[in-house]
Amino acid sequence: MPDDVRMEPAATTKWQPAPERLAPPTTGVDDLYVIGHLGIARVPGHSWRLRVHGREFTLDELRALPGTEVQAVLECFGNPLRPDEPVRRAGNVVWRGVPVATVLDLADAPEGPLLWAEGADSGVFDGTPCSEYLKDLPLDVVRDRGVLAYECNGEPLTAEHGFPVRLFVPGYFGTNNVKWLRSLTVADRRPEHLFTTTLYQRVPPGGGDPEPVRDLDVTSLVTDVHREGATVRVTGWAWGSAPVVGVEVGLGGRWAEAALSAPVGGPHGWRGFTTTVVPGPGEDVVVVRARDDAGRRQPLEGVRNACHAVPVPL
């Protein structure tokens, strides 16, 4: 770790808001979850450099390049030690930065199947020392839609969210969106690392060898359930790597199709849903289930994107 980078705190850090704080279409930075596997890196902006195949970029140089803006969901995959545990950490924010493709071209980076993204954070996770946080991503995907983000909702990134610059790839889980980014390297192989080939792997549907978690699952989150006379109104958000095409709200074994709003932001922003249901005697829990145009549907239970079940208020 460079001498001017401090880990503070120097231990795994987690925070997430209550679901009702995620009701606004655009998530406020203060309501965007925080995850630091190795802690929170404090990186001085004036001395920060991004290394890309022999070329270095300062923060001012990046900000002077033609920028782009995208609103999209940032979602945490969850605890890699308990990968089937639902955590529902997500937010829909506006990212501004430089397309990754622009910087790769300026650096005359070679072609290859993978892009290694390295963060400036270091420390120990679950007893394993790491000199850096490292992820590998398909180069063609990152070239197509990856952003070197230096702003969130119109303001510079906070330290908790990756200042000075983080990688953001719309449609990918947060584990891939490396914070405190310090280097990008085109490679022809996967690196052996705690956060590449050990953690954040799962067996694909139908079986086979474990694969890195990248594409967002189809999922949904209830932000409000309240009574309106004899009915109960249910609202929230649904999202995934593929467009959400429907949301069902279940109560007492009966399912009702919710009304969907347009995506908030681009194709990887979340969609609002709302419906009203009439509870019968003893029907005191609503369940929400999203589906996408790839044919995926949220499982009822037992996996990380299991349906959100919320008590009906008395």
Pick the CATH number of 6-212 from 3.10.129.10, 3.90.420.10, 3.90.320.10, 3.40.140.10: 3.90.420.10
Q: Where are the domains of the chain?
A: 6-212, 219-311
**Model pLDDT, residue 3:** 67
Place of tokens 């060898």: 209
The tens-digit pLDDT sequence of the chain (314 residues) is 566 999 999 999 999 999 999 999 999 999 999 999 999 999 999 999 999 999 999 999 999 999 999 999 999 999 999 999 999 999 999 999 999 999 999 999 999 999 999 999 999 999 999 999 999 999 999 999 999 999 999 999 999 999 999 999 999 999 999 999 999 999 999 999 999 999 999 998 888 999 999 999 999 999 999 999 999 999 999 999 999 999 999 999 899 999 999 999 989 999 999 999 999 888 899 999 999 999 999 999 999 999 999 999 87
Q: 110: which residues sit within 8 A by CB, 6+ positions away?
A: 53, 186
Tell me the C-alpha distance between 204 and 14, whole Å. Answer: 27
| Fold of the 219-311 domain | Immunoglobulin-like (2.60.40)
**Model pLDDT, residue 188:** 97
3-state secondary structure of 26: coil
For the entire predicted model, the pTM comes to 0.96
Which candidate, 115, 131, 134, places its Cα nearest to that of 123? 131
Q: 232: which residues sit within 8 A by CB, 6+ positions away?
A: 225, 226, 251, 276, 277, 278, 279, 286, 312, 313
CB 255 within 8 A of CB 248: yes
* Inter-CA distances, 153 with 96, 158, 175, Å: 8, 11, 20
